[in-house]
Chains A and B, each alone.
Chain A
Amino acid sequence: MKIDIKNENGTAIAKLSGEIDHHNAKELRAELDRFIVTAQPQELAIDFGGITFMDSSGIGLIMGRSKLLKECGGRLEVINPQPYIKRVMKLSGIDRVVKIR
Chain B
Amino acid sequence: MEILNEIRFRMPSLSVNESAARAVVSSFLIQADPTVEELSDIRTAVSEAVTNAVVHGYRHTKGDIELIVRLLTERVVYIRVRDKGCGIADVEQAMEPLFTTAPEEERSGLGFSVMQSFMDKLSVRSAPGKGTTVTMRKRLSAHGE
Contact = CB atoms under 8 A, between A and B. Distances in A.
B107 A60 contact: yes
Interface residues of B, number: 25
A100 B81 CA distance: 33
Contacts of A92: 108, 110, 113
A15 interface: no
Most buried by B among A21, A55, A60, A64: A55
Given A21-B47, A91-B117, A56 B15 contact: no
A56 B110 contact: yes
B24 interface: no
A37 interface: no
B108 A84 contact: no
Given A22-B55, A91-B117, A59 B15 contact: no
B106 A21 contact: no
The residue among A21, A61, A84, A92 with the most chain B CB atoms within 10 A of its own CB is A21
B106 A29 contact: yes
Chain B CB within 10 A, most for which of A21, A56, A64, A91: A56
Interface string B85-111: 000000000000000000001111011
A12 B41 CA distance: 31
Interface string A66-101: 000000000000000001100010011000000000
A57 B37 CA distance: 19
A91 B16 CA distance: 25
A33 to B, nearest CB: 11
Nearest to B102: A60
A29 B16 CA distance: 17
Contacts of B107: 22, 56-57, 60
A23 interface: yes
Given A55-B114, A91-B117, A22 B108 contact: no
Closest 3 CB pairs of A and B: A60-B106, A23-B15, A56-B110
Interface of B: 15-16, 18-19, 22, 36-37, 40-41, 43-44, 47-48, 51, 54-55, 105-108, 110-111, 113-114, 117
